[in-house]
Amino acid sequence: MTEIVGFTLDQLATDIEALEQYIAGGGALQLNICTEDIPTEADLASLVLNAEQAGFAMTFPEVSLQSGVPTTSFTLSGSTPRSNYLGAGIPTGQWQVLIPLLTPLATIGIIAYGITKVGDISKAIMPILLVAGGIMVVSIALLRRPAERYLERGGRVPYLPSTVTLNNIPATVSGTKIKDIDIPSGDLKLSLPTAGIWLLLAYDDEIDHTTKVIKTWLISDVQDINNNFADGVPFSLLENAVKKVPQLEKVIFDQSIETGKTEPFLIETNRKARKCRFTLNGEVKEVACYYMVKVVKARSSTVYGGRLNPKEYLPSVVDLPDCTPLLENLPATRQKRKYIYALTNFNSGYYFTPDFSYERQGTALDILAKAKGAGESTIQIWNDAQTGYWKQFGYKEAKQSISIAEAEKLLGVARKEEVDQGRDPDRPAITLVEYTPYKRIRNIKGLYFPATVQTEFQKAKETWDKSGEKERERILIHIGYFPSERFFDWNELRQDRKIWIVDYFKEEHPGLFEGLTPSKKTATGYMTTNPPSPIEHNGLQYYVHMTFPTRMEAEEEAEGLRGSGSPSKILVKPWEGGYVVYEHPLTWDEEKEVFVPDTVHGWMKTPPLDFIEVEGVVYRRHINFPTRKEAEEAAAGLKHCKILIRPWEGGFVLYKYMSPAVRDFKPGEHTQNLIESVRDEKEAIAMYHDFADMADEMGDQTTADLYRHVAAEEEHHAEEFGQRLTELGGALKYEPVTAEFMAETIAVSGYKDKLDQAFQEAIQRARG
Amino acid sequence: MDIPTNACIRTDPRWDKAVRHLGYEPVDILPENAGSLRTDADLISESQEKLARVKIVPDAQLTPRQMATLSLIREINHRNARVRDIHAAEIPPASDRVRTAGMYGRHDQNVYISTDQLEAGSQAVSTCIHEMSHHQTGKGDGEERHEEVIGSMAAAIVDQVSRGDYDQYLKNPEFVW
């Protein structure tokens, strides 16, 4: 086995050319490239596409973390690049073509590479060899680049999971500041029975993308949460705690790493802190840090936390006392869509927003038509802008029940005005609302106060003041502005009954927000990396079901799944500013009469091998099945392939024969032209058979197998193609013929008479 | 413009021959003038739904004459096309304007011949050639390649008949050309 190791693309160009001569007679090269960061799927796809266009036959790159270093591994067939597969000889001097194709990896930053010459490509694709080669390269890469290089990268891992599991308590990381509880501001108070406060120091492990909790501290001697977090946690508290952990020898936070000067670690003020260095079991680690605060309440536990870096993850919340000036200064005439809600009697009643009515029930026209269709005599209506239609019709309340006829009249005026303004008449500034669906969606009753913010805020306060202590826990006041990309964190509202101000029109009233914590949108857009799957929660494996930009949407999906009758367990977790609905799939085992993990959807815990070799034949993974019966049924439909069915972690994997030559086969230009020139699919298949026969005659068994396999694949595809065309309307599933049309086509062929004559003569001859 | 009584709305010229096959004439017409005319795509879609309800008639239920014809065309298939099988069948009418003599199923690669076509060898052989050509070419009705293969296959069968390849079937007194 020949191995070359290098560190730059220039070196790679030289080395790969040098190695080329060793594989002139066949074989393959395995390339392992260590990079600064993990290449994206787009990077890999770009690499493969470019390489294939250049005539290289390569396996799809596998990316793995070897000792924490992203390592991209793939195998190049020794007989590539090909310009003509049928042509004799192997072109040389073209391997440098590969170098610019590695640009996607070079952009990430190549640390090191290793080329391994392997004797036979069928062995090269065996995973065990990939792993072995990867380790070899990585170990050298690590020698070249000291460990600090990689550890530093822990400080700039761009996306980290926003979850932490501590003692099997699901943790929701939701903010960087917890100071809206028990605030003695003279205004609203929320009472939160507190059993204890925990501080967690954690970091994200970039290798397995889990949050590692270094240490938790019970801040048992501090009962006033607000005071604690307003002033920060004294560093001495942490220092003392560290001393109590025998294996944790020393922890240095943040700036001290750069300056050597130890600074107090204050949660509130030390937001710039990005790293901490600690020694654990003799090993020095320098990682990005989190602080997390676990507030243990009487009936539930919630972990709050926040990342110190990056700053983009600052929350979109401010606490109520800070917002008092905002409320007082809000203009009396509300602009656009701004609402104040007082949701009382939390567990029963209605809840709605105009945005929901619009999105979920269609336009006002739709709603009106639906109400008429249902035989309703009245309908709820409100004016979106407060200052428009209601005034001209003398309405004083923004929401009112009116007759259907009256609603039609209003709608007509609204639509006309939209037309006059050059806008879409189907989206008039008027909203008709049906209430019923919201019972189903939220099962929450609420009261909508359509007057000014100040007035309604006052009402809310009065309601609060009059309520008893027990009742207050059930009272929620939500002040919000719509549309809001980040609506609000419904889970937090539901759990904590806190007062939040969610989003605001900063652009519209910048002066109102002076002194407030700036808001950054955290839930816009989706993740840029895939959330982890599966994750373990309470000992169960959960798999990604769907991702959402907001928790609201994720919770809605989760509610739908829970209410669908499926026994599967559902979990919602944040990830990179969005939210993920996880599912632990379960199905009913009729024999055992228990719910069992659904292997159809849950699949195996680890992916089965993509290739396996049996008696010198390499099989490629085709489909996974939960039962052998299903795998065998599928195998029966694959007529032209060698099939192998192997069990894997509770399921069964259907493998198809795929010789290395076939797998890497790329028709050369000449062959391609031949194939394309034969437009008829059947003839193309026949041509492949002919090529196989020719190869047989020449004693080239590999090429013969190659073409026979391609022919078999094409025949299989031909069947699928016909069905696909049918779906597309391009071809018919059934080709009927009428007697008239049939007679016509035979007549057109000119053989009708000849057929008649031949058969009649043959009948006479046969019957003597 | 005079609209023929068997008109349908042309949405795609690709369907022209197929809908003519169904007894309809595609015309270019504005939707507002189309009245109750159906589109070519609708006709084809309905036709496909009907044809999917084809019922195979087991060999044991065929008359001796039908069986004699079926045996012959199976042998013709074996020598010339090798569709998966040829079945006698009750085939629903492909449209309200035509009856269906035979049918090739792309998905199962079977040929279905209407039992009434099996009463005479000339009808059954012609139908068989037409359907086998679908199998050979993968092409639809009216496509050039399909029509070419019909001609070449018919020529081959004429040769085979002249050589006496099917004599053992033709000497069966139940067989009627």
- Is this complex's ipTM strictly greater than 0.85? yes
User: Which residue in the block uniquely carries the two structure tokens 């982890």?
Assistant: A532
Q: What is the mean pLDDT of residues B160-164?
A: 90
Cβ pair B103:A755 closer than 8 A:
no
What are the tokens at A643? 């099939």
User: Which residues in chain A have their CB less than 8 angstroms from residue B13's CB?
Assistant: none
Q: Does A328 contact B at CB distance below 8 Å? A: no
A343-398 pLDDT, tens digit per residue, is 221 222 222 222 233 233 345 666 667 667 767 676 665 443 333 444 444 444 44
Residue A523 is predicted with a pLDDT of 30
- pLDDT of B132 > 50? The answer is yes
Nearest CA in chain B to A746: B126
User: Which residues in chain B have their CB less than 8 angstroms from residue A715's CB?
Assistant: none
Residue A553 is predicted with a pLDDT of 66
Q: What is the mean pLDDT of residues A206-213?
A: 48
User: Which residues in chain A have their CB less than 8 angstroms from residue B47's CB?
Assistant: 734, 736
Burial B90-118 (b: 16+ CB within 10 A, else e): ebbbbbeebbbbbbbbbeebbbbbbbbbb
Q: Does A466 contact B at CB distance below 8 Å? A: no
Residue A752 is predicted with a pLDDT of 81
A536-582 pLDDT, tens digit per residue, is 877 777 877 666 666 666 776 776 676 655 667 788 887 766 777 78
**Identity of the residue in B100, B147, B175 whose CB atom sits nearest the CB atom of A738:** B100
- What are the domain boundaries of chain B? 7-51, 55-170
More confident residue, A679 or A432: A432
Residue B130 is predicted with a pLDDT of 86
A609: which DSSP letter? Answer: P
Cβ pair A762:B150 closer than 8 A:
no
Residue A571 is predicted with a pLDDT of 84
Nearest CA in chain A to B139: A731
A625-634 pLDDT, tens digit per residue, is 767 777 777 7
Task: Quote the CA–CA distance of A157 and A175 in Å, as a whole number.
Answer: 19
> Nearest CA to CA, how far is B13 from chain A (Å)?
12
Beta strands in A474-605, from DSSP E residues, in sequence order: 476-481, 500-502, 535-537, 540-548, 569-575, 578-584, 586-589, 594-597
Nearest CA in chain B to A722: B106
Cβ pair B107:A759 closer than 8 A:
no
Residue B137 is predicted with a pLDDT of 76
Range in A107-116, A571-580, A641-650 with the lowest mean pLDDT: A107-116
Nearest CA in chain B to A682: B137
Chain-centre distance for alpha carbon A414: 41
Of the pLDDT bands very low, low, confident and very high (cuts 50, 70, 90), residue A112 is low
Residue A768 is predicted with a pLDDT of 79
> Nearest CA to CA, how far is B33 from chain A (Å)?
25
Residue A426 is predicted with a pLDDT of 59
User: Which residue in the block uniquely carries the two structure tokens 């596998």?
Assistant: A62
Beta strands in A289-337, from DSSP E residues, in sequence order: 290-297, 301-307, 317-318
Which domains are present in chain A?
2-145 (3.30.70.260), 155-315 (no CATH), 321-513 (no CATH), 535-602 (no CATH), 736-768 (no CATH)
Q: What is the mean pLDDT of residues A204-218?
A: 47
**Identity of the residue in B98, B134, B147 whose CB atom sits nearest the CB atom of A735:** B134
Residue B76 is predicted with a pLDDT of 92
Task: Quote the CA–CA distance of A157 and A286 in Å, as a whole number.
Answer: 13
User: Which residue in the block uniquely carries the two structure tokens 């290798």?
Assistant: A207
> Nearest CA to CA, how far is A424 from chain B (Å)?
26
Q: Which of A343, A468, A368, A356 is closest to A426 using CA atoms? A: A368
Count A/B contacts: CB-CB distance under 8 Å: 156
Cβ pair A734:B41 closer than 8 A:
no
- pLDDT of B72 > 90? The answer is yes
Residue B144 is predicted with a pLDDT of 72
Cβ pair A742:B102 closer than 8 A:
yes
Of the pLDDT bands very low, low, confident and very high (cuts 50, 70, 90), residue B161 is very high
Of the pLDDT bands very low, low, confident and very high (cuts 50, 70, 90), residue B69 is very high
Residue A19 is predicted with a pLDDT of 65
Could you give the percent of chain A with pLDDT greater than 90?
0
Cβ pair B126:A758 closer than 8 A:
no
Q: Which of A742, A754, A756, A757 to mutate to test the interface with B (most CBs of B within 10 A)?
A: A742
Of the pLDDT bands very low, low, confident and very high (cuts 50, 70, 90), residue B73 is very high
The architecture (CATH level 2) of B55-170 comes to 2-Layer Sandwich (3.30)
Nearest CA in chain B to A731: B140
Of the pLDDT bands very low, low, confident and very high (cuts 50, 70, 90), residue A674 is very low
Q: Which helix (H) or strand (E) holds A262?
A: none
Task: Quote the CA–CA distance of A16 and A34 in Å, as a whole number.
Answer: 16
Residue A400 is predicted with a pLDDT of 55
3-state secondary structure of A586: strand
Most confident of A408-412, B43-47, B129-133: B129-133
Do the bridges between strand B110-114 and strand B85-90 make them parallel or antiparallel, or are there none, so unpaired? parallel
A434-493 pLDDT, tens digit per residue, is 332 222 222 222 222 223 334 444 554 555 556 555 444 333 333 332 222 233 333 333
Could you give the percent of chain A with pLDDT greater than 70?
16
Most confident of A263-272, A478-487, A614-623, B105-114: B105-114
> Nearest CA to CA, how far is B87 from chain A (Å)?
14
- pLDDT of B170 > 80? The answer is yes
CA dist A134 to A141, A695, B125, Å?
10, 37, 65
Q: Does A682 contact B at CB distance below 8 Å? A: yes
Q: Does A753 contact B at CB distance below 8 Å? A: no
> Quick one: CA dihedral A749, A753, A757, A762, positive or negative?
positive
